[in-house]
Amino acid sequence: MKRQNYINWDSYFMGVAKLSSLRSKDPSTQVGACIINQDKRIIGIGYNGLPMGMNDDDFPWEKEGDFVNTKYPYVVHAEANAILNSTQDLKGATIYVTLFPCNECMKLIIQSGIKEIIYESNKDHGKDFNQASLKMMQSAGIKARQIKVDKIILEPVNED
């Protein structure tokens, strides 16, 4: 008889998104994304971080202060990275993301042909950029649903 407590597809792909988020160097917000095609194959993964080749230690991670001294002008969001890293056409794809996309990422999601967003946190609900994001999503006919996944604990094991 087959094992009964295997994880479902939603938990599996959100789990991959959450695992990716653990790679983020951002001290305050870690976001991960995982894009799958219509055959449930992973075709893109990303987390929020600096553009390729830029040194993580040479740029600020602050949220407050002069614009150039905050993280905001420099960080590529998880969804954008997953789209840029994708290995095939994204038409009809689904994106799993640990936080509901901001308006900038929503534009990329719409433009890439992704048709469904599955997110976990919606902590920015009600903020201006979240409202703009939602408005674009609805106008473009993209579906969204929220799921909660149990915490995945991955600690490095020290073996001598």
- Which residues sit at the interface with Zn ion, rule CB under 5 A? 77, 102, 105
Q: How far apart are CA 44 and CA 96, in angstroms?
A: 10
Could you give the CA distance from residue 60 to residue 50 in angstroms, rounded to a whole number? Answer: 10
Catalytic residue flag (residue 159) = no
- In the complex, the smallest distance separating the C-beta of residue 31 from Zn ion, rounded to whole angstroms, is 8
Least separation in angstroms between CB 55 and Zn ion: 22
Provide the edge-to-edge strand list for the sheet that holds 116-121.
Answer: 42-47, 32-36, 94-99, 116-121, 143-146
The one catalytic residue among 62, 64, 79, 104? 79
Q: Is residue 95 within 8 Å of 116, Cβ to Cβ?
A: yes
- Cβ closer to Zn ion: 18 or 77? 77
**Residue 12 or 142 having the CB closest to Zn ion:** 142
Q: Are 116 and 143 in contact (CB under 8 A)?
A: yes
- How far apart are CB 24 and Zn ion at their closest, in Å? 13
Nearest-Å Rg of the Cα atoms of the chain is 16
Name which of 17 and 102 has its Cβ closer to Zn ion.
102
Q: Which are the catalytic amino acids? A: 79
